[in-house]
A and B are shown apart, each in its own frame.
Chain A
Amino acid sequence: MFQALADPTRRLMIERLCDGPASVSELAAPLAMTLSAVVQHLAVLEESGLVRSQKQGRVRTCQVDTQALRAAERWISERRALWEKRFDRLAAYLAENPEEPKEGSET
């Protein structure tokens, strides 16, 4: 997923899609590149699971897969919360153990 977002063009496309679904030509309009280059970027985004698209007649409509993004975001916030708790306990431990370590005993 990260490699999909590592590219500035793909980030612009994601930002656009955060405002709602768009067709491939709508996505391409503000970008200074060929339609086939846009289609390639889109393929990377689809492969990463960030974007899904659906073809209706001759128009392909793209949208952000919020589930995929949400899952990753939850991973990070859970891990962060775990560390925040640990660091609180470290503060408590330091408060309970005020003595300085002896010289040379650091490692």
Chain B
Amino acid sequence: MSDYSVLHATIVVERTYPASPKRVFAAWSNKEALLSWALPGDDWVSGYECFDFRVGGNDRSYFGPPGGETYLNDTTYLDIVPDARIVSAGAMTSAGKRFSAGLMTVEFQPAGNGGCRLVMTEQSAFLDGHDLPENHEAGWNEMLEKLGNHLGRQQAAA
């Protein structure tokens, strides 16, 4: 029997932030902002090898526990509507193995009191049993929590 398998799944995570869609979009489109909230694990080694936020542009981030396995995430931006939407395609690899490939839609919608409702939809193919949708969902929840903290700090500094 083949060791290859594909599990398709859709993950939706929603959050409302007390910050304008413009500010939340900025936190998704700026490398320094992304570095402060979008890479997992506080003590993990992480960063960007390249970052090119425009339609057709690519970025590559890496992350992993100190001394442990390093994960690479390659992203290509496919659709960008300033302050409203980002659609990208990405693939995650580690030690030459591809864990998952997916499509990510992030929508920034105006919410009450000048806030922003963020809706993130990940449509992914999980490959060969290396990764699971629930891991991604947990990871996203943690990161969106950190995004809230990031926006709060920014507000306090302003």
**Number of A-B residue pairs having CB atoms within 8 Å of each other in the complex:** 10
Q: Does B29 contact A (CB under 8 A)?
A: no
A2 to B14, CA, bound (A): 12
CA A47 to CA B14, docked complex, whole Å: 13
A95 contacts partner chain B, Cβ-Cβ < 8 Å: no
> Chain A at the B interface: mostly helix, strand, loop or mixed?
helix
Question: What 0/1 pattern do residues 1 to 37 of B give for CB contact below 8 A with A?
Answer: 0000000001010100000000000000000000000
Number of B residues contacting the other chain (C-beta, 8 Å)?
A: 6
Instruction: Using CB atoms, name the residue of chain B closest to A7.
Output: B12
**Would you call B70 an interface residue if the criterion is a C-beta within 8 Å of the partner chain's C-beta atoms?**
no
Question: Which A residue's beta carbon lies closest to that of B105?
Answer: A2
Within 8 A of A (CB), among B68-122: 109, 119, 121
| SS of B interface (majority) | strand
Distance of A71 from chain B, by nearest CB (Å): 17
Task: Give the CA-CA distance A2 to B12 in the complex, in Å.
Answer: 8
- Does A3 lie at the interface of the complex (its beta carbon under 8 Å from any beta carbon of B)? yes
**A47 proximity list for chain B (CB < 8 A):** 109
| Complex CA–CA separation, A7 to B109 (angstroms) | 19
Distance between Cα atoms of A103 and B12 in the complex (Å): 43
B10 to chain A: which residues have CB within 8 Å?
2, 6
- Chain B residues contacting A2 (CB-CB under 8 Å) are 10, 12, 121
B115-158 near A? 1/0 per residue, CB < 8 Å: 00001010000000000000000000000000000000000000
A3 surroundings in chain B (CB, below 8 A)? 12, 14, 119, 121
**For residues 1 through 38 of chain A, which have their beta carbon under 8 Å from a beta carbon of chain B?**
2-3, 6
Distance in angstroms between the alpha carbons of A69 and B146 in the assembled complex: 35
Chain B contacts for A6, CB-based, 8 A? 10, 12
Contacts of B119 in A (CB 8 A): 3
In the assembly, what is the distance between CA of A31 and CA of B59, in Å?
Answer: 46
Q: Give min CB distance, B134 to chain A, whole Å.
A: 15
Residues of A within 8 A of B121 (CB): 2-3
A residues neighboring B (CB under 8 Å): 2-3, 6, 47
Instruction: Name 7 extra pairs, CB < 8 A, besides A2-B121, A3-B121, A6-B10.
Output: A2-B10, A2-B12, A3-B12, A3-B14, A3-B119, A6-B12, A47-B109
Chain B residues in contact with chain A, CB under 8 A?
10, 12, 14, 109, 119, 121
Return the 4 tightest CB-CB contacts between A and B, nearest first: A3-B12, A6-B12, A3-B119, A3-B14
